[in-house]
Structure 1
Amino acid sequence: MIRAVLFDFGGVILSSPFDAFARYEAERGLPEGFIRRVNATNPDTNAWAQLERRKITLDEFCERFEAEAADAGHRLDAREVLALLGGELRPEMVEAVRRCSERLLTGLLTNNFVTVDGHVDREGEMGAVLALFDVVIESSKVGVRKPDPRFYELACRELGIEPGEAVFLDDLGVNLKPAREMGMSTIKVVDPHQALAQLEAVVGFPLR
Structure 2
Amino acid sequence: MVAGVLIDWGGVLTTSMSDSIRHWIVADRIDDAHYREVMGELVRHAYSGDGETVVHALERGEIDGSTFERDLAARLRTVDGAPPVADGLLERMFAGFERAEAMYDMLRDVREAGVRTCLLSNSWSNTYPREGWDEIFDAVVISGEVGMRKPEPRIFQHALGLVGLPGEACVFIDDIEANIVAARALGIEGIHHTDPDTTITRLETLLQLSLRRA
Scaled by the length of structure 2, what TM-score is found?
A: 0.83
- The aligned length equals 199
2-structure distance, mates of 1:204, 1:111: 29
2-structure distance, mates of 1:113, 1:81: 8
Closer/same/farther in 2, CA of residues 48 and 69 from structure 1, 3 Å limit: farther
The alignment partner of 2:136 has SS state of: coil
2:93 counterpart of 1:84: yes
Percent identity between matched residues is 27
The alignment partner of 1:15 has SS state of: coil
2:116 counterpart of 1:105: yes
Scaled by the length of structure 1, what TM-score is found?
A: 0.85
2:180 counterpart of 1:170: no
Q: How far apart are 1:46 and its partner, in Å?
A: 2.4
Q: How far apart are 1:30 and its partner, in Å?
A: 1.8
Aligned CA RMSD, in angstroms, stands at 2.2
- Matched residue, 1:118: none
2-structure distance, mates of 1:174, 1:60: 26
CA contact (8 A) 1:21 1:81 kept: no
Where structure 1 has 5 or more consecutive residues not aligned to the other structure, the ranges are 115-120
CA contact (8 A) 1:48 1:65 kept: no
The alignment partner of 1:126 has SS state of: coil
1-structure distance, mates of 2:3, 2:69: 41
CA contact (8 A) 1:47 1:65 kept: no
- Matched residue, 2:56: 49
- Matched residue, 1:155: 159
Amino acid at match of 1:202: L
2-structure distance, mates of 1:130, 1:110: 16
2:49 counterpart of 1:40: no
Q: How far apart are 1:130 and its partner, in Å?
A: 4.6
Q: How far apart are 1:42 and its partner, in Å?
A: 3.1
